[in-house]
A = this chain, B = another copy of it.
Amino acid sequence: MTARMKDIALELGLSVVTVSKALRAHPDIGEATRRRVLERVAELGYQPNLMARSLVTGQTWTVGLIVPDLLHPFFAGIAKAISNDIRAHGYGLLISSSDEEPDAERQQIRNLLARQVDVIVLASTQTTVDGLREIERRGTPCILLDRRFAGAEAHFVGNDDEAVGALATAHLIAQGCRRIAHLRGPEVSTAAGRLSGYRQALAQQGLAAPELVMDLGPSGDHRGAEAGYAATRRLLALSPRPDGLFCYNDPSALGAMRAVLEAGLRVPDDIAIIGCGNLSYADFLRIPLSSIDQGAEAIGRRVAQLATSLAGTRNAAAPPHVDLVPPRLVARASTIRFPKG
């Protein structure tokens, strides 16, 4: 078995409490004693049992994170950033992937609560705020990530999705597109936000009608390319057809691009295409894809900061901290119609 404080105390002829205090640099302990303790602790490579400590202090130094899909680079990037940043403050990260299933998510929330995590960070797949009741009842601080709820008074960190939609659409307009279509994502706040931003940008230029919005359907990210392909085929059947396309995410944009090229049209000359997510290796695609970078790392860092400041708090009536990370346009060949020069 592993050494316990009791063992060290016995060896040194001290009480357990003295050892405990010495380890935590409590002022009660004299210099000589502290040194003796630390020396023996170092020799043994002793580390206090965090379970036991947590039981009495009520703090577990653990953040719980639930994402819809850990394989998605956006969420993986956020998870990595959170993990790295909170570790610097002594926190660990318990991660689970809900696979876009609300029931699984609720179960995972319950599990995190049973584990007494100090904070829950949640990119929810729920449509209502009800799933958060339990968290609230427990008084565990909760940070909503990427996806928000209409009337919920909760902390939030994520993109300003209206800005995402507006940025992408304005870029297409600037490139000379006049009939700009949108592939709309599933029933989550991000899709609604991007659609709204798209509409705003169009309205601002008097390009609102007719509306060229096509649904990608409920498919998750893994089917994004197929969904984008199918939706775009439907768009191309319209006449006159669109000359610009803002896609909910990059996979659907890739599917869209395939559909456009297969139809014998040119990208970006006939149809300019922009996605969202800024996938890695976009530069190595057949036609490098313009996209909106969501800044996963920045989001993760801000979540980490908020989480560590919230940990230890209980039911603090602090006003919700809403942190909208600005998106960044990355223009590549798929939209650049007027090469400079």
Q: Which of A33-41, A121-129, A281-289 contacts B (4 or more CB under 8 A)?
A: A281-289
The size of the chain A interface, using a CB distance under 8 A, is 52
Q: Which residues of B contact A77 (CB under 8 A)?
A: 71
Contacts of A225 on B, CB cut-off 8 Å? 281, 284
- Taken together as a complex, chains A and B put the C-alpha atoms of A138 and B79 apart, in Å, by 29
In the complex, which residues of chain B have a beta carbon less than 8 angstroms from the beta carbon of A93? 94-96
Stretch from A109-117, A166-174, A186-194, A211-219 contacting the other chain:
A109-117
Q: Which residues 56-103 in A have Cβ within 8 Å of B in the complex?
A: 60, 62, 69-71, 73, 76-77, 79-80, 83-84, 87, 92-97, 99
Q: Is A175 an interface residue (CB 8 A)?
A: no
In the complex, A169 Cα to B271 Cα: how many Å? Answer: 41
Does A254 touch B at the CB level, under 8 Å? yes
A251 partner residues in chain B, CB cutoff 8 A: 281
**Cβ-defined contact, B95 with A95, below 8 A:** yes
A55-B51, A94-B93 known; A2 vs B138 contact (CB < 8 Å): yes
Contact string against B for A residues 231-274, beta-carbon threshold 8 Å, 1 for contact and 0 otherwise: 00000000000000000000100100110000000000000000
Contacts of A254 in B (CB 8 A): 281, 284
B residues in contact with A52, CB < 8 Å = 55
Flag if A94 contacts B97 (CB, 8 Å). no
Which residues in B have their C-beta under 8 angstroms from that of A32? Answer: none
Residue of B nearest to A90 (CB): B111
For the complex, is A339 an interface residue (Cβ under 8 Å from B)?
A: no
Tell which of A73, A97, A139 has the most Cβ of chain B within 10 Å: A97
Residues of B within 8 A of A49 (CB): 55, 114, 116
User: 10 smallest A-B Cβ distances: which pairs?
Assistant: A70-B80, A76-B76, A47-B114, A254-B284, A286-B286, A95-B95, A50-B114, A50-B115, A80-B97, A51-B55
A interface, CB within 8 angstroms of B: 2, 45, 47-52, 54-55, 60, 62, 69-71, 73, 76-77, 79-80, 83-84, 87, 92-97, 99, 108, 110-116, 134, 137-139, 225, 251, 254, 257-258, 279, 281, 284-286
A sample of 20 inter-chain contacts (CB < 8 A) reads A2-B139, A45-B137, A48-B114, A49-B55, A50-B116, A51-B55, A69-B80, A70-B80, A71-B80, A79-B95, A83-B96, A83-B97, A87-B111, A92-B111, A92-B112, A92-B115, A93-B96, A94-B94, A94-B95, A284-B286
